[in-house]
Amino acid sequence: MGTELTFDAFEKEWLTDVVAGNPSTIELGRRFSRKLVSQWLDFAEDESPDDIIYCDGTGDGGVDIACLQRGDDAEDNSNGGDTWYLVQSKYGSAFLGTSTLIEEAQKLIDTVDGQRSNLSSLAAGLVERLQTFRKQASEKDKLVLVYAVQKPLSKVEKRAVEDIKAMGKSRLGASFDTDVVSLETIYHRTLEEISHVNKTQVLITAHLVPSGEEMLVGSVGLTQLFDFLKSYKATTGDIDMLYEKNVRKFLGSRRKVNKGIENTILTKPERFGLYNNGITIVVEAFQQQPNNIEYELTEPFVVNGCQTTRTIWEVLYRKLEAGGTGKDPELEAWKKNLGKGIVVIKIVKVGLRGDELLTETTRYTNSQNAVSEKDFIALESDFQKWSKNMASKYRVFLEIQRGGWDSQKAYQKQNPNTVQFTECINAFDLLKVYGAAWLGEAGISYGKNPPFAPGGSLFHKIVKQDDFGLDDLYAAYQLYKAGSRFKFGRGAEKQQRGQTRHLFYMLTVEMLKDCFIAAGRPATNKSITKALLVLFSQENDAVLNALLEYSISVADDYLTPGHEYCVFKEPKFAEKGSDLNSFLKWEQLGKGNDSTPLLNNLLAQYKIALKGGIGGQPKYRDMIKEIILKIDADI
């Protein structure tokens, strides 16, 4: 049997949980769309924040899933604009080609434009938000119709999507756009160096000279670089794949647009080469064409110049792909100057398996940018190392890129003699668990992603700890599993637990910190990790369950209306608009008596209960204290 993972094997494994249990046609489509879109947009499917709305069903108005990705100027890795992704999903026989695309687009555009009635309450609420969004949208904001399909579209179907884009812009304005995501998109994003997959080969027109055998240096015109980007997207269907090897590979198009770069393109494009540091592209191979000015790049990736190329793409797309058959003197003058603009470029050949050269190239070409050395090591070195060590030490597959677990399962089935993993966890999810529990940031963990992404404030705070490593991730994984075992998050059996997964993480560590106080030992992040790892061992089941049960009780009581210390009676709850979801995402949640005094009082009550001894209750705090003291003595 071969060792290469075929797309058919990947697809079969990916669809296993979608088709499990012989679901109805409606449920089948719902499962497909939710899994596909959550992986494509990189959000946790088991969470239900305000900005992810599942409308599929009767009265959905042509919107199965709506996702708002917000710009956050406070975070360096956030887009300056907001984007609404409106997903129309068609799985299997539900997709009938161009007629389906056009009919569903018409329905969705009518809905957004306020021309459809008989909407469900969810869809009606979404439409109201979208209409408000359209009224106050800036040129940075987008409204994107996304087709989520099983198979890639044909050329005829792709042309239909372009026609739909033009129709949408006419009806809904310049912010409207279209996109397509298929299962093959996820396959190509998550698998690397699979020899049977056609290599991505794209031509670039540039003035280059060799510098040794592994590098070309020179310049590329702004318009020629834009043509390269267009060709890349046409070839792969996903321009974000161009940044898979970049330090900021998780950021993709969400990176905040560099205003200086944009301003130069718009006002002084002919001087771009003077003002910009240039870009670096790594390739598996390059080949000069007979005309001497074109080069075929095999498997190209931008490792330095993410902001530069994305800004060039965004600005030139708006200016050059707007349509129109006439002439605008101002635009023509700008195009003339644009033709004089260049970008300094380096193309580095790293070969088929040039991991070391790729790492070094990425590392040093980013040394003078806003990305720090720690950013690069964490993403390109440490997380890869932790993934391998998590596998060897704990037999858990650490998923660095969402969708990788489906690839791994398919590979295992195709290669039964290889290591067989049964457990998996996404690395980004673990960073959020750690942030909520160890750092006490339950509100931000529940409400925001950018702070935990590379370049984000909490990402830095976590990975810059000198002693942060594999054991911390595994302890976070154990806490994550505990939250799942007690049905926190999506699918919660108790209503109170639908929105309190991250609060539960924080409360568990807060209860544990009280045991450290009793032991007279400092509750450092590393000591908390060590204590949790011991508590989660099988011999400590009883005391662990007590700690978890008390933490759960705090979370449940806090969300129970009428309880003496419930969230609805918090003084700040009314001040913040009495919106529960928003309040639980508040960055001050659990930060003291000034923000959530009732939560603090409730927590204090259960700390007393953990202490025990009254009425013959076990003294669980003393048991945990002894564990802490033993750990301290063993160090």
- Run of H or E including 519: helix 501-519
Domain ranges of the chain: 7-187, 198-371, 380-634
Lowest-confidence region among 191-195, 413-417, 467-471, 552-556: 191-195
- Compute and round to an integer the Cα radius of gyration of the chain: 26
Q: What is the mean pLDDT of residues 575-582?
A: 88
Residue 333 has pLDDT above 70, yes or no: yes
* 18-22, 229-233, 324-328, 524-528: least confidently modelled range: 324-328
Write down the pLDDT at residue 357: 52
Enter the tokens of residue 489.
Answer: 């998050």
Rounded to an integer, what distance in angstroms lies between the CA atom of residue 450 and that of residue 169? 29
Q: Which two tokens stand for residue 207?
A: 């003035």
Residue 635's pLDDT is 55
H or E segment and range at residue 552? helix 541-558
Helix (H, G, I), strand (E, B) or coil at 509: helix
* Residue 11: both structure tokens together: 């697809």
For the chain, the first-to-last Cα distance in angstroms comes to 48
Nearest residue to 598 (alpha-carbon basis) of 561, 562, 569, 556: 569
Does residue 256 register a pLDDT over 70?
A: no
pLDDT at 43: 67
Look-up of token digits 């008989």: 118
What pLDDT, on a 0 to 100 scale, did the predictor assign at position 504?
Answer: 97
Rounded CA separation 599/504 (Å): 12
Q: What is residue 590's predicted lDDT score, i.e. its pLDDT?
A: 94
The arithmetic mean of pLDDT across residues 359-378, rounded, is 41
Q: Give Cβ neighbours of residue 71 (< 8 Å, ≥ 6 apart).
A: 78, 79, 80, 81, 82, 140, 256
Contacts with 124 (C-beta within 8 Å, 6 or more apart), sequence order: none
Q: What confidence tens digit (pLDDT) does each residue in 402-422 have?
A: 667 887 888 788 778 888 999
CA-CA distance, 424 to 13, in Å (whole number)? Answer: 15
- CATH code assigned to 7-187: 3.40.1350
| pLDDT the model gives residue 421 | 92
> What is the C-alpha to C-alpha distance for residues 597 and 219, in angstroms, rounded to an integer?
61
Q: Which of 530, 480, 542 is nearest to 508 (CA)?
A: 480
Round to whole Å and give the CA distance between 430 and 432.
5
Q: Tokens in use for 428?
A: 């980004």
DSSP code for 350? -
In the predicted model, is pLDDT for residue 353 greater than 50? no
Complete edge-to-edge strand list for the sheet that includes strand 342-349: 207-210, 215-221, 342-349, 279-283, 301-304
Band (pLDDT 50/70/90 cuts) for residue 634 is low
Amino acid 401: pLDDT: 64
Tokens of 394: 């704990």
Secondary structure E strands in 46-193: 52-54, 65-69, 83-90, 142-149, 176-182
Say if CB 442 and CB 502 are below 8 A apart.
Answer: yes
Alpha-helical segments (H) within 373-441: 373-377, 383-394, 404-414, 427-437
* Better-predicted residue by pLDDT, 512 or 367: 512
C-alpha–C-alpha distance, residues 572 and 244, integer Å: 43
Report pLDDT for 373: 33
Buried b (16+ CB within 10 A) or exposed e, 581-603: eebbbbeebbbeeebbebbbebb
Decide if pLDDT at 377 tops 70: no
Top-confidence residue, 138 or 519:
519
Q: What is the DSSP string of 585-627?
A: T-TTTTS-TTT-HHHHHHHHHHHHHHH--GGG---HHHHHHHH
Pick the more confident residue, 612 or 552: 552
SS3 497: helix
For the stretch 56-98, pLDDT in tens is 778 888 898 898 887 765 544 445 688 899 998 888 777 788 9
Helix (H), strand (E), coil (C) string for 470-483:
HHHHHHHHHHHHHH
Q: What is the mean pLDDT of residues 118-142?
A: 88
Edge to edge, what strands does the sheet with 176-182 contain? 52-54, 65-69, 83-90, 142-149, 176-182
- Residue 353: CB atoms within 10 Å: 10
pLDDT, tens only, 267-294? 999 999 888 888 999 898 899 999 889 9
Q: Mean of the per-residue pLDDT values for the chain?
A: 84
Give tens-digit pLDDT for 470-507. 999 999 999 999 999 999 987 778 888 989 999 999 99
| Other C-beta atoms lying within 10 Å of the C-beta of residue 415 | 16
Lowest-confidence range among 202-211, 573-582, 585-594? 573-582
